[in-house]
Structure 1
């Protein structure tokens, strides 16, 4: 008589072996804008808990200091210039976007049977050929570009986010004609941005619950705290001096809801959560912007405050709890690392710039030795090599080019220019920077462009 066997399917085996991945990517959040990264003003108990149960990365870099290039780099594992997405950001009238021939994190995981969803700000092209479902995602729900942009031509909007608009959220929500999309269709115009962070989280939770028995990848790029700032009425603080704090604390509460869902479903032991930001804070908006302390400057610059961002990685049983590392890593490293953790090698038909940092999830060694800095307009401006950072960039209103060398181990705030004391290091870094840029430039791949009407 044959013995009875349990019906274990290939899908069961795959779900058991392959971890889930959640990337939470905020917009314009500074290095100092989490409790676990030193904020003495903003309370973020839920993200702090992820850090206490996981690991902080204190030398974690976004690949650019503005939105579109940084998002292209995260998803493709490439410098934005390699994929043609390095010249500032996309606007509602832009006729190009991320080429669907590029290979994204979503493409890689979908090829292994993962369910994939993008919920939030996309900003890699609003044309159907460039939206998330053309780039490896099964579904999309979110704002296709920045939340201060107007459909269809970016006309008729306020120039800035202001205390007056924060004080009157019910009126301000109609000032920007920003669209909300479901897959390739606009479903709300203008989107009610007061509730958008919570609605993103609702969709994210629905996705996790629906795929609890299958491996999944959730990319959750929040529209906030990019200006204009909004929160739901039940958490609103009318004092405009607390506007930014209020928004971050609301994001934190929503991160808590999502993380609690993962815990309650019993998925903690096979789920990674990565929390980080696309670039540094928009300092000129003062109480509507964040803080990069103790770093220099913020969004739009290649100083540390523009591209070194807070990062927390959580994976109980796989990432050591309550740890922190100053190992040198970037958003580009997420694709090869996720590929390694999922168990399938990346295709070998293209160059990527990211490196597998799986050893860095538990230790302090990183395979990364250097990282090139491009301006918000895609101009080569510097390189970090180990502890040294070399910059050659225009500074000040007169546009004078200044060369700088900083020892980031001793001078994280970039206040001591030691270029005159280290000519050999300066020469070596300048040569290396130009060599890397030359290779990227010569091998750059094209963006998708809207066909001509002719």
Structure 2
């Protein structure tokens, strides 16, 4: 075999390989994940709100998949975001509650952050050629924009434009955005529109044709709320005062921002784009703290609110639409979690799963044929719950809740797990169980713990097993 012929064969192989890679990339969808902040299960007209108009998000639901039983990873912001990014219970990452600033505290909350070693959606997608960006709220570290803790770029975001927590001083004219490590200063406008402006600018300037992963994390409708005056005036006649009108207008402004980005994608020929829309937790409680004066979110009849382990704490809107692909279209009551987004995107894009214990599972079959039956129970251990039950699990049609008791006393509310309370938490026993059939009773009104002993014992035993597994894998903070 001559050298010339071998060189020719190598050229052909190289060409075919390049063609195969190009074909693979053309099949990989662009991905946009919209994540709202404190948007309740009943805050969209697609989910039953009688006043707020959300036509753009409603269209996603009408032409895509509207999920009625979609769950966030936690009933509060920081652990919920970490769960979505990693596909793992946030307890495994040591994120048990919202992350405050760096002020020292006895329970070591000032140390809490998404740690090196955790693998995320953008990190995984970068391995198969994706360009990645985060625009909006981060809230996954106590030291924001500080090299002492890993920042969004460490976790796979090529580009990031974010705030630590809320837009400040409000959604209007925020001053606290950081762009790739540099403070952006005062930006005029409203946060959700600013975030979409940044997303569009990044897409415009993207230098290659690689598929992209874009995570759009709105601050709305979390306090401190500020809304465009024209929208406030539009909702005033249908509200009980200006504060409620401001909340309604806030959600409506998010819908307009979503519509702007979707219109941009349509106009610019991105005809293979998977869009996911959801919220980090349920709606805030009115006047729970001094700044919560415009928190008029609705639960759609579910029990509780943000920070509760009942349904309204973490059952949230969940919508998926694969633009440009013939997929299932309709409403589903399949039990799906934000934890499932990472394994689903890995399956769709060809990325390998993280070499870590995952709690989510792929719902790619739901996109294909509308069928998905999860095998893994969904379990939450939230030690700062506003209701009495700090542990909850959904499996099939049923949900079981439990309190925690240690030496005859109920476990107090806790914000973090660290060496100082590890033994207290781990030696506490599950007690005071409640059982609900959510298919028949989504409002959690009829406790079946004593009514259906067979199912109760099955769920109780499963909860004890799953909770122990969660405890064994939970991160313990120490100095």
Report 1:6-405 matches (<5 A): 12-93=22-103, 94-125=110-141, 126=144, 127-128=146-147, 129-147=149-167, 179-188=176-185, 195-211=190-206, 213-233=209-229, 235-237=231-233, 239-268=242-271, 270-285=272-287, 287-318=294-325, 320=327, 322-347=329-354, 349-361=355-367, 362-375=369-382, 377=384, 380-393=390-403, 402-405=432-435
Q: Could you say what secondary structure the match of 1:207 adopts?
A: helix
Q: Distance in 1 between matches of 2:122 and 2:155?
A: 7
C-alpha contact 1:240 1:287 (8 A) present in aligned 2? yes
C-alpha contact 1:194 1:230 (8 A) present in aligned 2? no
User: Residue 433 of structure 1: CA displacement?
Assistant: 1.7
User: Residue 187 of structure 1: CA displacement?
Assistant: 2.5
| Partner deviation per Cα, 1:269-314 (whole Å, 9 max, x = no partner) | x110100000000032474331012211110001100100001111
User: Residue 185 of structure 1: CA displacement?
Assistant: 2.9
Q: Distance in 1 between matches of 2:86 and 2:52?
A: 32
Q: Distance in 2 between matches of 1:242 and 1:16?
A: 45
C-alpha contact 1:66 1:89 (8 A) present in aligned 2? no
Unaligned runs of 5+ in 2: 1-7, 9-14, 104-109, 237-241, 288-292, 405-409, 414-430
C-alpha contact 1:53 1:316 (8 A) present in aligned 2? no
C-alpha contact 2:83 2:90 (8 A) present in aligned 1? yes
Q: Which of residues 437, 445, 450 in structure 2 aligns to 1:407?
A: 437
Q: Tell which deviates more after alignment, 102-111 or 85-94.
A: 85-94
Q: Distance in 1 between matches of 2:115 and 2:411?
A: 37
User: Residue 6 of structure 1: CA displacement?
Assistant: 12
C-alpha contact 1:54 1:312 (8 A) present in aligned 2? yes
Aligned residue pairs total 417
Alpha-carbon RMSD:
3.0
Q: Tell which deviates more after alignment, 103-112 or 380-389.
A: 380-389
| Partner deviation per Cα, 1:150-176 (whole Å, 9 max, x = no partner) | 8xxxxxxxxxxxxxxxxxx8xx969xx
Instruction: Give the TM-score normalised by the residue count of structure 1.
Output: 0.84
| Partner deviation per Cα, 1:31-77 (whole Å, 9 max, x = no partner) | 01111111111100000111122110110000110000000000000
Q: Distance in 2 between matches of 1:193 and 1:423?
A: 59
Q: Tell which deviates more after alignment, 243-252 or 81-90.
A: 81-90
User: Residue 421 of structure 1: CA displacement?
Assistant: 0.7
C-alpha contact 1:208 1:262 (8 A) present in aligned 2? no
Change in Cα spacing, 1:8 to 1:260, as seen in structure 2 (3 Å) is farther
Change in Cα spacing, 1:365 to 1:321, as seen in structure 2 (3 Å) is closer
Q: Distance in 2 between matches of 1:196 and 1:54?
A: 27
C-alpha contact 1:99 1:446 (8 A) present in aligned 2? no
User: Residue 350 of structure 1: CA displacement?
Assistant: 1.6
Q: Distance in 1 between matches of 2:154 and 2:16?
A: 39
Instruction: Give the TM-score normalised by the residue count of structure 2.
Output: 0.80
C-alpha contact 1:119 1:220 (8 A) present in aligned 2? yes
Q: Could you say what secondary structure the match of 1:226 adopts?
A: coil
Q: Distance in 2 between matches of 1:206 and 1:147?
A: 20
Higher relative contact order (CA 8 A, sep 6+): 1
Unaligned runs of 5+ in 1: 151-168
Change in Cα spacing, 1:319 to 1:81, as seen in structure 2 (3 Å) is farther
User: Residue 205 of structure 1: CA displacement?
Assistant: 1.3
| Partner deviation per Cα, 1:71-91 (whole Å, 9 max, x = no partner) | 000000000111111244333
User: Residue 445 of structure 1: CA displacement?
Assistant: 4.8
Change in Cα spacing, 1:24 to 1:37, as seen in structure 2 (3 Å) is same
